[in-house]
């Protein structure tokens, strides 16, 4: 029986998990989102049973944007260039300091690991921001790296080089464990991810969910598509974690489409070390964490598992009796049951 469960099992069930070298009380982590952007929410997440939090990403682009936005206000339009530089730097510094204070205050208040998250554009800022989050007391750092391979004149290897360069530079400078959160937009996904896992990172977060455009047909305008995932979105990370977990050299956090205990169990079965959840917390509230823990424990009890390691990766491509199921991509009638 865990602290959050109200059920009694005949034998003790242990949900303890390890992720990025950090000891967690269970395998459920709050993904980076607006919900992890305040100490109050982090306290509530901890109370509801979350094992660790990844803070909202600090976006270099957003910092530049808000500094420029400040300068666009009427009162600043006639200033000297030096004064504008001062205000730009001051605003940027202020945003950065707010983030660093969030890390410090969260660390003072909760006992669960607090993982910072950054998304930068320039090489120098990746390193500078990373070092500052470490100095502020973060237990780990997630690099939210996003390169859309949309330039038809750019080789895929050039895009991949960005991931390797950022990773190498940041891990060379930091003592705290580093994870990379990325998308599936790679032509050689398995090769790139196994290559990245062989650097000094401690985990891969598979996968990020990005802003996607949609079309409003009445107004013939571009709009934002759904911000939140659905349980059906689990399919993409599930396949790739099943195929990659036996071969990568670091931990894996499953992200996207985990909305309940069943989704959590599926991800552990294919080899994820933890899941990261965001949409379900927005849609159902923090109490859902307790339900997910209950579902996991009662499933483990029914299946006679006492520890997560008893079943983690049992259905990965290396262990399943049907590895072809993960490799298959065509909807043939025989496999899908539908003509």
Tell me how far, at minimum, the Cβ of 237 lies from ligand FMN, in Å: 9
Tell me how far, at minimum, the Cβ of 188 lies from ligand FMN, in Å: 22
254, two tokens:
């499953």
| Helices and strands (DSSP H and E) totals, the chain | 12, 13
Binding site for ligand FMN (CB under 6 A): 31-34, 56-57, 117, 144, 181, 208-209, 227-229, 255-258, 277-280
d(Cα 235, Cα 30) in Å, to the nearest integer? Answer: 20
Residues in the chain: 339
Tell me how far, at minimum, the Cβ of 138 lies from ligand FMN, in Å: 14
* Residue 79 or 162 having the CB closest to ligand FMN: 162
- Other CB atoms within a 10 A radius of the CB of residue 322 amount to 9
Tell me how far, at minimum, the Cβ of 111 lies from ligand FMN, in Å: 22
Tell me how far, at minimum, the Cβ of 258 lies from ligand FMN, in Å: 6
User: What single-letter DSSP state applies at residue 307?
Assistant: B
CB 56 within 8 Å of CB 117: yes
* Residue 227 or 318 having the CB closest to ligand FMN: 227
Buried b (16+ CB within 10 A) or exposed e, 88-116: beebbeebbeebbebbbbbbeebebbbbb
* Residue 259 or 312 having the CB closest to ligand FMN: 259
Tell me how far, at minimum, the Cβ of 288 lies from ligand FMN, in Å: 11
With a CB cutoff of 8 Å and minimum separation 6, the contacts of 279 are 228, 229, 230, 259
d(Cα 194, Cα 9) in Å, to the nearest integer? Answer: 39
* Residue 34 or 188 having the CB closest to ligand FMN: 34
* Residue 257 or 271 having the CB closest to ligand FMN: 257
Question: What Cα–Cα distance (Å) separates residue 95 from each residue in 59, 62, 140, 226?
Answer: 10, 9, 20, 28
Tell me how far, at minimum, the Cβ of 142 lies from ligand FMN, in Å: 7
* Residue 31 or 204 having the CB closest to ligand FMN: 31
- Other CB atoms within a 10 A radius of the CB of residue 50 amount to 27
Tell me how far, at minimum, the Cβ of 146 lies from ligand FMN, in Å: 8
CA proximity to 209, closest of 190, 232, 187: 232
d(Cα 252, Cα 17) in Å, to the nearest integer? Answer: 12
* Residue 144 or 197 having the CB closest to ligand FMN: 144
Place of tokens 């911000």: 227
* Residue 13 or 106 having the CB closest to ligand FMN: 106
């Amino acid at each position: 029986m865990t602290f959050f469960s109200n059920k009694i099992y005949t034998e003790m069930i242990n949900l303890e998990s390890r992720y990025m070298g950090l000891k967690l009380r269970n395998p459920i982590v709050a993904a980076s989102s607006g919900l992890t952007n305040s100490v109050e929410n982090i306290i509530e997440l901890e109370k509801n049973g979350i094992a660790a939090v990844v803070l909202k990403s600090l976006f270099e682009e957003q910092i530049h944007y808000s500094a420029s936005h400040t300068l666009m206000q009427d009162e600043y339009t006639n200033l000297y260039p030096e004064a504008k530089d001062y205000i730009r730097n001051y605003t940027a510094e202020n945003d950065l300091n707010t983030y660093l204070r969030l890390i410090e205050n969260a660390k003072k208040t909760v006992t669960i690991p607090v993982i910072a998250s950054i998304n930068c554009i320039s090489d120098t800022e990746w390193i500078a921001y990373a070092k500052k989050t470490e100095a502020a007391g973060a237990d780990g750092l997630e690099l939210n790296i996003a390169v859309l391979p949309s330039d038809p004149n750019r080789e895929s290897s050039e895009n991949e080089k960005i991931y390797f360069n950022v990773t190498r530079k940041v891990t060379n400078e930091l003592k705290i464990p580093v994870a990379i959160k990325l998308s599936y937009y790679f032509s050689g996904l398995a090769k790139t991810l196994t290559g990245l896992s062989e650097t000094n990172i401690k985990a891969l977060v598979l996968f990020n969910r990005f802003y996607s455009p949609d079309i409003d047909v009445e107004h013939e305008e571009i709009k934002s598509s759904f911000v939140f995932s659905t349980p059906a979105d689990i399919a993409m990370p599930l396949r790739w974690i099943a195929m990659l977990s036996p071969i990568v050299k670091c931990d894996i956090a499953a992200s996207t489409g985990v909305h309940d205990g069943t989704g959590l169990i599926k991800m552990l079965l294919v080899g994820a070390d933890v899941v990261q959840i965001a949409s379900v917390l927005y849609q159902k509230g923090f109490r859902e964490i307790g339900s997910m823990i209950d579902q996991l424990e009662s499933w483990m009890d029914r299946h006679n598992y006492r520890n997560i390691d008893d079943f983690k990766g049992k259905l990965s491509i290396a262990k399943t009796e049907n590895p072809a199921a993960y490799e298959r991509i065509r909807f043939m009638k025989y496999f899908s049951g539908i003509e």
